Structure 1
Amino acid sequence: MRIELRDVCYGYQPERQVLRHINLCFDGNQSVAIIGQNGAGKTTLAKHLNGILRPTQGSLLIDGTDICDWTTAQWSSRVGYVFQNPDDQLFLGSVREEFSFGPRNIGMDEAAIGRRITKVAALTGLQDKLDAHPSDLSPTEKKFCGIGAVVMMNPDAVVFDEPTCGQDHAGNARLHRLIAELKHEGKMCLAISHDMKFVAANFDRVVAIRKGEVLLDSTPEDVFSQTDTLRESFVAPPPITRVAQGAGLADTVFSVDQFIEAIRNTRSK
């Protein structure tokens, strides 16, 4: 899959532009995190990727087709969107019904739906909760129910809006495995996140947004090494990265093991 944003602008009101001349391209099974302070335009940008919002200027193409040529319902089978708050997404009487609803409405046959329920339930850790009402789930389980309902449709790309919000440690670990599995299957994963530790551990590319414009677009190592520029988006690198930078280490590190190795490299010089 290839998603191209060409000079995309958007304003909820004509006099207030939220996105300003965005030019980005997402390709293949890239995993991309979109970061920035509240109000920077991250969610507005993400909601353009399957037609929830449409550019007021410029164009957005998916595999060469303009987003405006199809309805949001049509795009949802290609680009899945997981809302930050699962209560904005879940509305049926059981996890099984939530998982079945999307695939059934895009014409997936019942046998295929059954196979995907088995797979996605295992991936989301909801094997024993399929007949539970979503309102009876824990916050972490409810989050994964929303994720599972989107993954069930087997989209080419999945957009996660603040996926770690409300997650516990086990939930974050499961989310890490889920993103890795989607990438292994050739899916594109894009996430809006304020959790820089999660971003550094799971994504190959980071796009920093400031006041509706792209400030930085590169690897996590490159983006989080540009502390002065990154500060303009009111985002700080992960804690272990900041410790290493404060210690004057040349390497940009994202884990304790990398921190120790960077110290060893410094001592050996």
Structure 2
Amino acid sequence: MSEVLIEAKGVWFKYNKKQDWVLKDVNFTVKKGEFVGIIGESGAGKTTLAKHFNGLLKPWRGEVRVLGMDTRRVPTSRLARHVGYVFQNPDSQIYSATIRDELSVGLKKLGFKAGEIEERIKWALEVVDLKKPLDISPHVLSFGERHRLAIATVLALNPDVFVLDEPFAGIDYKRSLNLLEIFRELTKKGHSVVLIAHDLQLIAELADRVVFMSQGRIVREGTPEEVIGDVAFLESNGYIPLQVSVIASKLGLGRIVRVSDMAEELYRRLTL
């Protein structure tokens, strides 16, 4: 059985006493080496749940544990060593005067030496395909470039779990897929990835497990085929299903979410 890195048990949360519950009795786990996609309508509680994974938010009821540590009793700075978080808006996490400073500040706090810091910075920028002078201000970058810088900053820290909250705004589909494939490779080395995204195709291509949230609850989870491939379920929840899933359903091929799988199934049936 794979090691559980993040575990949420019976989590209830709201932002103030007068507000309705944003999370309602949520149970959620992330195992070592797992790639989890979280989907759901705006306001479903996806980001609120994700912010519990590194202690940015604390549950009102229930508990969240990261590598066995109770997030209510451990400083966020300590949790950040294990859970790297990429925000929806990169400007929420970019605050340094230069690109080099932005990438190195966290590494310095963790005690890395200058040589290793430079190596990690170089590698992370290559991964996100950001070729800019390191001494310029990150605030002169385009929105998409700032998002890639935010991703690079988290990559350089090399945490156990990467939490990506709609990380590809302003980034084209091909580059987004390339980045996700890098994260997929990291799962093979024991890291875990939690991706919140509206793009069903990106999640279908790479996730091991898909979690569907609605009105503060997890209402369904399973493989991409079980959740994203269920055309009727998605339509009943306001989603436009993937075209490949719709075609597969009409042809009686079952639940399919990847074009490559569709081609393989058609070939198999034609060569029987």
TM-score between both structures, scaled by the size of structure 2: 0.90
Deviation at 1:108, TM superposition (A): 2.3
Q: Give the number of equivalent residue pairs.
A: 268
Say if 1:56 and 1:232 are closer, same or farther in 2 by CA, change over 3 A: farther
Aligned partners of 2:230 and 2:255 also within 8 Å: no
2:265 is aligned, of 244, 257, 262, to: 262
Paired letter, 1:213: R
1:107 maps to 2:111: yes
Which sits farther off after the overlay, 113-122 or 204-213?
Answer: 113-122
What are the superposed Cα offsets for residues 90-123 of structure 1, whole Å, 9 maximum, x if unpaired? 1222221111011112322222212211221211
Partners of 2:15 and 2:41 in 1: CA distance = 18
Query: Aligned with 2:11: secondary structure?
Result: strand
Query: Aligned with 1:35: secondary structure?
Result: strand
1:244 is aligned, of 242, 248, 252, to: 248
Partners of 2:173 and 2:30 in 1: CA distance = 29
Deviation at 1:234, TM superposition (A): 2.9
Query: Aligned with 1:225: secondary structure?
Result: coil
Query: Aligned with 2:266: secondary structure?
Result: helix
What are the superposed Cα offsets for residues 208-239 of structure 1, whole Å, 9 maximum, x if unpaired? 00111111111101112333334454334323
Partners of 1:252 and 1:262 in 2: CA distance = 9
Deviation at 1:196, TM superposition (A): 0.2
Partners of 2:183 and 2:240 in 1: CA distance = 23
Query: Aligned with 1:5: secondary structure?
Result: strand
1:90 is aligned to 94
TM alignment of 1:1-269, pairs within 5 A:
2-14=5-17, 15-255=19-259, 257-267=260-270
Aligned partners of 2:162 and 2:193 also within 8 Å: yes
Identity, in percent, stands at 33
Paired letter, 1:76: A
What is the root-mean-square deviation in Å for CA atoms of aligned residues?
2.0
What are the superposed Cα offsets for residues 55-101 of structure 1, whole Å, 9 maximum, x if unpaired? 01000111222111112122111101101111121122222111101
Deviation at 1:172, TM superposition (A): 1.5
Deviation at 1:166, TM superposition (A): 1.7
Deviation at 1:133, TM superposition (A): 2.3
Could you tell me which runs of 5 or more consecutive residues in structure 1 were left unpaired when the two chains were aligned. Answer: none
Deviation at 1:170, TM superposition (A): 3.7
TM-score between both structures, scaled by the size of structure 1: 0.91
Partners of 2:170 and 2:131 in 1: CA distance = 21
Aligned partners of 1:80 and 1:158 also within 8 Å: yes
Aligned partners of 1:164 and 1:195 also within 8 Å: no
Deviation at 1:179, TM superposition (A): 1.2
Deviation at 1:131, TM superposition (A): 3.1
What are the superposed Cα offsets for residues 4-32 of structure 1, whole Å, 9 maximum, x if unpaired? 11101111233501111111111101010
Deviation at 1:268, TM superposition (A): 5.5
Deviation at 1:187, TM superposition (A): 1.1
Partners of 2:206 and 2:237 in 1: CA distance = 21
